[in-house]
Amino acid sequence: MGAALFHRRRSRLLLVLGACMVTLIAMWTYAASLEHWGDARTVIFTVGPLVLGIIGLGALVLLILDVVRERRV
């Protein structure tokens, strides 16, 4: 693998991590603005963070593995 490939993949993984964080912050901001929660509580406090956490953790693991692999080469 070339250095350019590592750089592009690392950029995409950082973009995914950033998008997860921005989405999570937007969900919490939206939740703070609600007067009546209704069914939004389930999505905002269980489903959303769980899905975003899995995606973000997966991207973080791949990013760490790529950095370690690049340093070995």
What is the DSSP code string of the chain?
--HHHHHHHHHHHHHHHHHHHHHHHHHHHHHHH-S--TTHHHIIIIIHHHHHHHHHHHHHHHHHHHHHHHHH-
HSE (side-chain half, CA atoms, 13 Å) at 9: 17
Task: Sketch the domain layout of the chain as residue ranges.
Answer: 3-72
Q: What global pTM score does this model have?
A: 0.76
pLDDT band with cut points at 50, 70 and 90 for residue 1: low
Residues 31, 40: contact at Cβ < 8 Å? yes
The predicted-structure confidence for 9-64, as pLDDT tens digits, reads as follows 889 999 999 999 999 899 888 877 877 777 777 777 788 888 998 999 999 999 99
